[in-house]
Amino acid sequence: MPRVLVSDKLSPTAVQIFKDRGVEVDYLPDLGKDKDKLLEIIHLYDGLAIRSATKVTEKLIAAATKLKVVGRAGIGVDNVDIPAASRKGIIVMNTPFGNSITTAEHAIALMFAVARELPAANASTHAGKWEKNRFMGVEITSKTLGIIGCGNIGAIVAQRAVGLKMHVVAFDPFLSEDRASELGVEKVELEELFGRADFITLHTPMTDKTRGIINAEAIAKMKDGVRIINCARGGLVVEADLIDGLKSGKVAGAGIDVFETEPATDSPLFGMDNVVCTPHLGASTSEAQENVALQVAEQMSDYLIKGAVSNAINMPSITAEEAPRLKPFVKLAEVLGAFVGQVTEDPIKEVEILFDGVTAMMNTKALISAALAGLIRPQMADVNMVSAPIMVKERGIIVAEVKRDKSGVFDGYIKLTVKTEKQTRSIAGTCFSDHKPRFIQIKGINLDAEVGQHMLYTTNNDAPGIIGLLGTVCGENGVNIANFQLGRNRPGGDAIALLYLDKPFPESVLEKVRAHQSIQSAKPLQFDIGAF
């Protein structure tokens, strides 16, 4: 039974989800604050469920010898060392949708608060003043709202703003014209958004491209009297430049929920009459906190029990529905990669993975990850589907994906082609109704071969006596052949043999096989068939 540690506060309902799904769970909600104790016991767990208090550092990851998944109840994963987790093969999940409505509503609330100067008016009235003429706000209706980042949260803001009779323009490189039309927004470039918007709200992740996207240069391009709302990430706005804009009057007001440094206990923004500040409350509703807790428990349980991957930062998603159908082909892709990885000695330059027929309609990102894991595992034993794509990228290997409709007798198959400086190797395989991977083509030679735990792969010119040669060498040296498969491209052409063995092929006997002039190459193979 998989075991999960909950080191931050989650609701009892979320903890019960783990138990109901067959996961052993230890609920220690204050452990995230005790780094030493967490470091001491993390090796006991397959999963770690956190909020923001627990810091999943490289040191903690190194000690987590069993850990398979980290689940963050919330969208931000700044407290997780994702590169370190990926290299260790640990899946990192978040819950990007559980607090979407809450965050979107907070942005709308800040927009109203800034437009009508509500906090300052509230403070004035509570102080016994009646400064009706001091607080002259602006209407929302008919104003132009510029949304930077029109993903899940940005789209909800857009829908609400359209309902408020605002004209909405959006900048998002991934927003299609069809989706923009569906939302009732106008897709524009960033500079046009700056020049047209009366209000600007940010809903984009923090990346190298978006860091400081609102700076002095951007503010200079905006309309006089623009109002800026940020409920996304503090680093998206250069605070010093925003303060200059507020003081000059270029920016009429700002609603800030996130800061460059958090917790923000001291900031030049504090005390400015035209700034509404909140302490990162975007996701702070009881509904959102419960939703993300339930969601992370469901996601982690589905992965640990069923192999389903949802909302992973560093791994292709695999739904619970597709996992049973995909699993045999994940194993097939891994086996194909393992075959080529074991017979290839030179540095790999390029990898092409062809998906034919039904495999082209599957979750090919997961299949590619599995193939790459199998391919480089002979050189890196601890690699898996999470870490493999990163390791391949770090080594400058080019990976290409090709999809095509059914082109042969098989409903679907996967073909892996690997190029080095000296040669190109290829292998293809499929899964039949028994869900077991099978080789259907090696080196361009068609065959039908099962996958065995211990095998020997040989290449030679098609000539009489090869079977006898292999049988004699094995027999004289006490190597039992359980089964074998042969193939050739044409009479007298290239030929291959696959020998199935009871145990690994002895190195001393391998040298005798290679010494024979009829054998071009001989490679021992080993596959993990426990999951077949």
> What pLDDT is stored for residue 327 in this prediction?
87
> What pLDDT is stored for residue 176 in this prediction?
85
Average pLDDT, integer, range 432-441: 92
CA distances from 521 to 13, 359, 458, 527 (A): 60, 32, 6, 19
In this predicted structure, the answer to whether residue 531 has a pLDDT above a threshold of 60 is: no
Residue 112 vs residue 366, higher pLDDT? 112
CATH class in words for 3-96+287-306 = alpha beta
> What pLDDT is stored for residue 74 in this prediction?
86
pLDDT tens digits, residue range 161-202? 999 999 999 999 878 888 899 999 999 999 999 999 999 999
> What pLDDT is stored for residue 32 in this prediction?
84
Measured over the CA atoms of residue 196, residue 202, residue 207 and residue 213, the dihedral's sign is: positive
> What pLDDT is stored for residue 385 in this prediction?
81
pLDDT tens digits, residue range 121-145? 999 999 999 998 899 999 999 999 9
| φ, ψ at 146 (rounded to 5°) | -100, 120
pTM attached to this predicted model? 0.62
Q: Decide: helix, strand or coil at residue 525.
A: strand
Contact 520, 319 (CB under 8 A): no
Neighbours of 452 (CB within 10 A): 19
507 is catalytic: no
> What pLDDT is stored for residue 532 in this prediction?
52
pLDDT tens digits, residue range 255-295? 999 999 988 999 999 989 899 999 999 888 888 888 899 99
In this predicted structure, the answer to whether residue 356 has a pLDDT above a threshold of 80 is: yes
What are the residues facing 352 on neighbouring strands? 400, 417
5 is written with which tokens? 């540690």
Q: Which of 280, 298, 334, 438 is catalytic?
A: 280
Average pLDDT, integer, range 349-369: 94
Give the pLDDT band of residue 29 (cuts 50, 70, 90): very high
402 is written with which tokens? 């090709």
Q: Which helix (H) or strand (E) holds 460?
A: strand 454-461
Q: What kind of fold does domain 324-526 have according to CATH?
A: 60s Ribosomal Protein L30; Chain: A; (3.30.1330)
Q: Decide: helix, strand or coil at residue 454.
A: strand
Q: Which of 262, 287, 350, 511 is catalytic?
A: 262
Q: Which of 233, 298, 377, 438 is catalytic?
A: 233
Average pLDDT, integer, range 331-350: 93
Q: How far is CA 105 from the centre of its chain?
A: 27
Contact 350, 398 (CB under 8 A): yes
* Per-residue H/E/C for 351-395: EEEEEEEHHHHCCHHHHHHHHHHHHHCCCCCCCCCCCHHHHHHHC
Spatial separation of the C-alpha atoms in residues 172 and 187, rounded to whole Å:
8
Domains 3-96+287-306 and 100-277 share a fold: yes
> What pLDDT is stored for residue 381 in this prediction?
61
Mean pLDDT of the chain: 92
Contacts of 494 (CB under 8 A, 6+ apart): 443, 444, 445, 459, 461, 462, 488
Residue 530 vs residue 440, higher pLDDT? 440
Domain ranges of the chain: 3-96+287-306, 100-277, 324-526
In this predicted structure, the answer to whether residue 1 has a pLDDT above a threshold of 60 is: yes
Residue 323 vs residue 525, higher pLDDT? 525
Average pLDDT, integer, range 502-514: 92
> What pLDDT is stored for residue 530 in this prediction?
59
Q: Return the amino acid letter for 111.
A: M
Residue with tokens 């083509």: 441
Q: Where are the alpha helices (DSSP H) in 381-465?
A: 388-394
CA distances from 256 to 212, 276, 286, 404 (A): 15, 6, 21, 49
Contacts of 219 (CB under 8 A, 6+ apart): 226, 241, 242, 244, 245, 250, 251
284 is written with which tokens? 């702070």
Contacts of 316 (CB under 8 A, 6+ apart): 309, 363, 365, 366, 368, 369
In this predicted structure, the answer to whether residue 107 has a pLDDT above a threshold of 90 is: yes
Q: Return the amino acid letter for 411.
A: D
Give the pLDDT band of residue 382 (cuts 50, 70, 90): low
280 is catalytic: yes
Contact 239, 264 (CB under 8 A): no
58 is catalytic: no
What is 100-277's CATH number, 3.40.50.620, 1.20.120.450, 3.40.50.720, 3.50.50.60?
Answer: 3.40.50.720
Give the pLDDT band of residue 402 (cuts 50, 70, 90): very high
Q: Return the amino acid letter for 120.
A: A
Contact 381, 526 (CB under 8 A): no
In this predicted structure, the answer to whether residue 518 has a pLDDT above a threshold of 60 is: yes
